[in-house]
Structure 1
Amino acid sequence: MLTIHGVYRSRASRAYWLAEELGLAFRSVPVIQARRLADPHAADAPLNTQSPAFVALNPMAQIPVIEEDGLVLTESLAITLYLAARHGGPLAAADGREEALILEWTLWAATSIEPAAVRIVQTYDAGQEETLAGKETVAQAVAALERGFSFLEGYLVENDYVLGNRFTVADLNLAEIFRYAMSEAALFDRHPRVKAWLARCQARPAFQTMMARREAEAA
């Protein structure tokens, strides 16, 4: 059975969403980020990314991690690509061309969108969005995102999803990255096709299930 180590309020959400899409039975092992604890090494600390048992599994001390049939994977996007490829179905590549496109879109989002989008999330998580420095950080991140948003906006003129008219693991990967910027409503309003595409992705029952479990977790 597939085991997913991590909490829903982390990049593990990508693995949980995909497992739901594929209808996979899985065991969830909650591992929280050590930064959320006053003392992650305390005797009564919950299992976290600094716990010896977890570090033995992933020396990089990051979530998510999956285990399946003796394979251990520790990068969230590698995990989603692996699960889709292994378990097949319409979310996976139909041929080598689609496999290349899925990889291209995923790497594009990870390098061109995620760094700036994460800065937005971090600013809000720190409660700094209303400070002068925080507003400047968010404004700079939004400016950095404009080109990528415009690129996807143009592509979606003739396509419902990034591989055409079929939702795939590439859309899931991108949607989870673009979600980091959702606090910036004006950015999405300037790119209505991106906004509509993300809404389509997030309307899927598997996403709704994942998000309900995420919301049920302690903040």
Structure 2
Amino acid sequence: MIKIYGILKSRAVRPVWTAEELGIPYELVPMHYAGDEVKSAAYLALNPNGQVPTLVDGDLVLFESLAIDLYLAKQHRAFGLWGADDHEEARIFQWTLWAATEAEPLARQWFRYTSFLPQESRIPALAAAALEGLRARFAVLDHALRDADYLVGNRFTVADLNVAAVLQRFVQLGGADYPNALAWHRRCFERPAAQRVFGERG
């Protein structure tokens, strides 16, 4: 059985969602991203970044949530989250990297300066700048979904899971102005696996 280190109120929710979609057994090892345990020697031996999540699958130890999702989807490709051919696989990598490089830095900037930091440390101008930057990214996403329900092969894949998980606060980030992307986001989070995971997350 695979082990996923982290808590659901962290990026560990992403590989947990993937495991639920795939129907594979897993153990969630509770570890808070801000707790002392992530700085312990035992945990740093698994993840030298001192962050969550970390996946342990036999001899494989893997960090970075989106990479873990890709690995699990490919390992269990019969369940349909992976690409059907090289072109679909390339699109999965494209959208996952887009999520990591184009969308997540701005989404995190907004969250940091509106919710994560103590009130006295928040900078509204940086939160507003993040929202403005996300408008161009959401336009790209909305255009990609103009004639399709999903990002790759017009079926739900790990590409959708990764992008949707990064943009879980899509409406708060201004996503309501992008109807194609908004409908897609709702489809992703209406899936039974997402409902189970995010329902437990609270």
Unaligned runs of 5+ residues in structure 2 are none
Query: TM (normalized to structure 1)?
Result: 0.86
For 2:38, the equivalent position in structure 1 comes to: 49
For 2:69, the equivalent position in structure 1 comes to: 80
Displacement of 1:135 after TM fit? 2.5
2:100 is the counterpart of 1:113: no
| C-alpha distance after superposition, 1:19-62 (max 9, x if no partner) | 0000010111111112xx5xx3xxxxxxx311222112111111
1:50 and 1:181 mapped to 2: Cα distance? 32
Mapping of 1:64-103 within 5 angstroms?
64-88=53-77, 89-103=79-93
2:176 and 2:98 mapped to 1: Cα distance? 22
| C-alpha distance after superposition, 1:51-106 (max 9, x if no partner) | 22211211111110001121010111110000000011211111111111100111
Mapping of 1:27-176 within 5 angstroms?
27-34=27-34, 37=35, 40=36, 48-88=37-77, 89-123=79-113, 124-128=115-119, 134-176=123-165
Counterpart contact for 1:4–1:64, Cα < 8 Å: yes
1:109 and 1:57 mapped to 2: Cα distance? 25
2:202 is the counterpart of 1:210: no
2:33 and 2:68 mapped to 1: Cα distance? 19
Counterpart contact for 1:150–1:191, Cα < 8 Å: yes
1:133 and 1:51 mapped to 2: Cα distance? 30
2:168 is the counterpart of 1:179: yes
2:28 and 2:91 mapped to 1: Cα distance? 30
1:132 and 1:192 mapped to 2: Cα distance? 34
Displacement of 1:132 after TM fit? 11
Mapping of 1:16-35 within 5 angstroms?
16-34=16-34
Query: TM (normalized to structure 2)?
Result: 0.93
2:180 aligned to which of 189, 193, 210: 193
Instruction: Supply the AA of the counterpart residue of 1:138.
Output: A
For 1:43, the equivalent position in structure 2 comes to: none
Unaligned runs of 5+ residues in structure 1 are 41-47
